Amino acid sequence: MAKKALIAVSGGIAVYKVCQVVSDLGKRGVDVQVIMTENATKFVTPLTFEALSKNMVFTDTFDYSYDASIKHITLAQEADVMCVAPATANIIAKLANGIADDMVSSTFLATTCPVIVCPAMNTHMYENAATQANLATLAARGIELVGPGIGKLACGDVAKGTLSPVDEIVEAICKKLGA
């Protein structure tokens, strides 16, 4: 049986890079399930991730049109690893503080498998004391942090805050899966 990776996508410009993460994991035989925040769907549609993963994408915690299961619970239980990428300052704050008000944050709270968080945001947002405290909280709880990298940001600055390279994210996920 294939290992299951739950990819949780939050709303930042780096969402487009996560398409390659999903594709590369699939090529390695990983069963990939994608969940998205509403803001993430403004950058890349769920249909793109459905085509790449061959699985339905879930964005609404309370959508029972697919089946009667409580998706944020069943997806959390089925996952062998969860990766939040890109992890915006907003989703990092929710994860660190136990806020469960969307599909990603609700599923995270129900997850017992290893979790990887891949920060990606403007460098000033990343360096903000609140974001740093939230990242420290996640790390202290055993969450693996991958990135961010240094590169050209959406605002045009070249600084720390870019999503880590796709191959680094894929390797971190595969390492957790033992694949």
List the catalytic residues.
155
The length of the chain in residues reads: 179
Query: How far is it, in rounded angstroms, from Cα 132 to Cα 105?
Result: 19
Strands 158-162 and 4-9, how do they pair? unpaired
The candidate with the shortest Cα–Cα distance to 119, out of 152, 151, 170, 161, is: 161
Give phi and psi for 176, each to the nearest 5: -65, -30
| Euclidean distance between the first and the last CA atom of the chain, given in angstroms as a whole number | 12
Q: How far, in Å, are 24, 66, 99 from residue 70 at the CA level? A: 28, 10, 18
